[in-house]
Chain A
Amino acid sequence: MNIVVDLNRCQAYAQCAFLAPEVFELHGEEALLYVPAVPEDQQERVHRAAVACPVQAILVGGAAGADVR
């Protein structure tokens, strides 16, 4: 599972940093850092975080190009 956050949309409501603190981190007051490749044991939390995002900026999906052959 990979994630990308559209940081143009992000307004630092930080719901993700509360709900999945090992994946999303506020760096200073409102800059968001995150781990793009989500560890297995964090997936449920990340799902919760993505759904909770007030600006729906978190995209969750399988790794792009997984079908590269």
Chain B
Amino acid sequence: MSGELRDGRIVVVGASLAGLRAAETLRDEGFEGSLTLVGDEPHPPYDRPPLSKQVLLGRVPATGTGLPARRPVDAQWKLGVAATGVDGIGKRVFLANGEEVPYDRLLIATGTRARPWPNPAEAALDGVFALRTSDDAAGLAERLDAGPRRVLVIGAGFTGSEIASACRERDIPVTVVERGPAPLVGALGGTLAAVAAEMHRRHGVDLRCGVQVTSLEGDGRLTGARLSDGSTVEADVAVVALGAVRNTEWLAESGLAAGPRGVTCDAGCRAFNMYGIVTDDVFVAGDVARFPHPLFGYQLIALEHWGNAVAQAEVAAHNMVSAGPFRRPHLAVPTFWSSQFGHNIKSVGVPTYSDQVVVAQGSLREARLVVVYGYKGRITAAVSVNRAKWLDYYQNLIETAAPFPPEPGAADRTAPMIPLPSDVPDPAVLSHGPTVALTGHLPDRRLTLVRPGG
């Protein structure tokens, strides 16, 4: 590392998982200059996945999900204060308290926030929650402890499904309302969405798909909701789980390519400016980043995945202190997990980047299986339900662009290897936002695949 890169001032905006791991990587790689972390939440970095699981189950307090440090970062922390803007020419970050923080290199890791309920008056009713921060989780967990009569979950993506699962485990009545045809369909397509719907129902969730909540009712306190099919739900707690909004508004005047889909960057995490020219002093990592991925046709993808936040932060940090030829691309195969209703769902690749699926191992009936996704005859993703130990095999197939469907011969393949349409809906029809946003072109699902040799 040259002396110039080892020294200077680095500011990381966003003090959650990506910001923390980036700061640690910077120090690991020998950065000796000044390091400032800015975070709008008052808490030191904490882990979010437990908020919808351990915390809602009452096993862990909402304040008890602090992340472990990999190493000391010797940073100045500015917590509880949001960044409000960037002056790319003067190289300063503006903070909500009026402060200005100068930088030589900037990392944007501001992540996402919960998509709010569109009607602010209804959203303000007592009993209406979102779930993104530990404060959100603390409030919701307290209500669940009090034993609500019924919880209404709006949106059946991963967060909504996990909330419903926690409620049912605590024997709290739950209604889940999803505008799309089934839970998780936006992330996993139709085949596994049917498995997910069955899990909901078997665990006593009142699952209502293909309908929308049109209004939340109450006078100060939530009493229920009205649905688009004319029915009503009585509930004293509602959780709005409509997906996430990327925190990019603060960059509106920055001249960077920042918008609702994220901050666009190159494979080396360098941000583009609004003219599509790559910068060399502003980097992006985590949920807020929108980057090209070679395994997925170089489409710009934005991933709301824990693993991506870590991996991309490491690459961004490395590149911030490395000269041109020593920089690395962010090529990690996307992975995520969810646990709900006692089932472990794990994914590698991008399931929405698909036109067909096959059940490669296990069976839908047992909800213990591996589903493999393909696009134009190539394997692009695999999802396991309670079959995590096999997933490495499919990751390798994805990385090597192996043909779809996968070769037969799995000992526990009970279903015939018949490709089905992957049935990934247009995100516009869902209540829950997809956790992978593919932009650029969408795979053409009308395509009929003809493979040589059948």
Contact = CB atoms under 8 A, between A and B. Distances in A.
B284 to A, nearest CB: 21
Contacts of A68: 44, 77, 79
B66 to A, nearest CB: 5
B307 A30 contact: no
* Residue of B68, B310, B389 with highest tally of chain A CB at under 10 A: B68
B388 A67 contact: no
B82 interface: no
Given A6-B307, A12-B388, A64-B45, A35 B64 contact: yes
A62 B344 contact: no
A29 B53 CA distance: 16
B388 A37 contact: no
Contact of B69 (A28, A36, A64, A69): A64
Given A28-B342, A64-B20, A10 B69 contact: no
Interface string B43-76: 1111101100110010110001111111111111
A2 interface: yes
B60 A35 contact: yes
Interface in B315-333: none
B84 to A, nearest CB: 21
Contacts of B368: 29
A65 B15 contact: yes
B389 A28 contact: no
Contacts of B388: 10-12, 30
What band does the interface of chain B fall in when counting residues whose beta carbon is under 8 Å from A?
35 or more
A31 B335 contact: no
Interface in A29-63: 29-37, 59-63
A66 B66 CA distance: 10
A2 B67 contact: yes
A7 B49 contact: yes
B336 interface: yes
Given A10-B388, A29-B344, A68-B44, A61 B69 contact: yes
Chain A CB within 10 Å — which of B44, B59, B66 has the most? B66
A63 B389 contact: no
A2 B342 contact: no
B306 interface: yes
A65 B439 CA distance: 35
B57 A4 contact: no
Contacts of A63: 44, 66-69
Contacts of A12: 344, 388-389
B59 A35 contact: yes
A33 B68 CA distance: 16
Given A2-B67, A37-B64, A67-B75, A28 B344 contact: yes
Max chain B C-beta neighbours (<10 A), residue from A25, A34, A37:
A37
A27 B52 CA distance: 14
B45 to A, nearest CB: 5
A10 B45 CA distance: 22
A7 B75 CA distance: 28
Contact of B68 (A7, A8, A59, A69): A59
B47 A62 contact: no
Nearest to A1: B68
Interface string A4-18: 101110111000000
A67 B14 CA distance: 17
B343 interface: yes
A33 B44 contact: no
Nearest to B53: A33
A60 B68 contact: yes
A19 interface: no
B68 A67 contact: no
Contacts of A32: 339, 344
12 contacts: A6-B306, A10-B388, A11-B391, A30-B344, A30-B386, A32-B344, A33-B50, A35-B54, A37-B60, A64-B45, A64-B68, A66-B69
Given A30-B386, A32-B339, 7 more contacts: A8-B337, A32-B344, A36-B66, A59-B70, A64-B20, A67-B73, A67-B75
Interface of B: 15, 20, 43-47, 49-50, 53-54, 57, 59-60, 64-77, 79, 306-307, 310, 335-337, 339, 341-344, 346, 368, 386, 388-389, 391-392
